Amino acid sequence: MNYFVNEKGYYGDFGGAYIPEMLYPNVEELRQNYLKIIEDAEFQKEFHALLKDYVGRPSPLYLAKRLSEKYNANIFLKREDLNHTGAHKINNTIGQILLAEKLGKKRIIAETGAGQHGVATATVCALRGLECVVYMGEIDIQRQAPNVARMKMLGAKVVSAVSGSKTLKDATNEAMRDWINNPVDTHYIIGSVVGPHPYPDMVSIFQSIISEETKKQLIEQTGNDQPDYVLACVGGGSNAMGMFYHFINDENVKLIAIEAGGKGVDTGFSAATTFLGKEGVLHGSRSILMQTADGQVVEPHSVSAGLDYPGIGPQHAHLFKTTRAEYVSITDDEALDAGLLCTQMEGIIPAIESAHALAHLEKMKFKGGENVVVCLSGRGDKDMDTYMKHFGF
Partner 1 sequence: MNRINKIFKEKKNNILSIYYTAGYPGLGDTVAIAAALEKAGADMLEIGFPYSDPVADGPVIQASSKLSLDQGMDLNLLFEQLKELRKTVTIPVLLMGYVNPVLQYGVERFCKACAEAGVDGCIVPDLPMVEYEEFYKDVFLKYGLSNIFLVTPQTSVERIHKIDSLSNGFIYLLSSSATTGQNLQVSDTTEAYFSRIADLKLNNPTMIGFGISSKETFDKACKYANGGIIGTAFVKAIAAGNLEDNIKAFMTKFTS
Catalytic residues: 89, 111, 377
Residues that bind partner 1 (CB under 8 A): 16-22, 24-25, 163-164, 169, 173, 176-177, 180-181, 183-184, 278, 280-284, 291, 293-297
Q: Which is nearer to partner 1, 118 or 277 (CB)?
A: 277
Q: Is 290 in contact with 235 (CB distance < 8 Å)?
A: no
Q: Is 152 in contact with 134 (CB distance < 8 Å)?
A: no
Cβ of residue 268: shortest distance to partner 1, in angstroms? 16
Pairing of strands 74-79, 371-376: parallel
Contacts of 18 (CB under 8 A, 6+ apart): 196, 281, 284, 285, 286
Strand partners, 258: 233, 328
CB 5: neighbour CB atoms within 10 A?
A: 22
Residues in the chain: 393
Contacts of 178 (CB under 8 A, 6+ apart): 109, 133, 135, 186, 188
Cβ of residue 299: shortest distance to partner 1, in angstroms? 9
Q: Which is nearer to partner 1, 186 or 304 (CB)?
A: 186
Cβ of residue 297: shortest distance to partner 1, in angstroms? 5
Our measurement of the distance from residue 14's CA atom to the centroid of its chain's CA atoms, rounded to an integer in Å, reads 18
Q: Which is nearer to partner 1, 175 or 338 (CB)?
A: 175
Whole-number Å distance between alpha carbons of 37 and 277: 35
Closest CA relative to residue 47, chosen from 226, 209, 285, 245: 209
Cβ of residue 187: shortest distance to partner 1, in angstroms? 15
Q: Which is nearer to partner 1, 172 or 217 (CB)?
A: 172
DSSP-derived 3-state class of residue 219 = helix
Cβ of residue 185: shortest distance to partner 1, in angstroms? 12
Q: Which is nearer to partner 1, 286 or 356 (CB)?
A: 286
CA distance to 63, 70, 77, 177, per residue, from 355 (Å): 17, 16, 12, 33
Whole-number Å distance between alpha carbons of 324 and 204: 17
Whole-number Å distance between alpha carbons of 214 and 208: 10
Cβ of residue 175: shortest distance to partner 1, in angstroms? 9
Phi, psi of 198 (to 5 degrees): -100, 10
Cβ of residue 290: shortest distance to partner 1, in angstroms? 11
Q: Which is nearer to partner 1, 1 or 293 (CB)?
A: 293
Helix (H) or strand (E) run with residue 47 in it: helix 41-50
Q: Which is nearer to partner 1, 126 or 281 (CB)?
A: 281
Contacts of 38 (CB under 8 A, 6+ apart): 44, 47, 95, 99, 202, 205
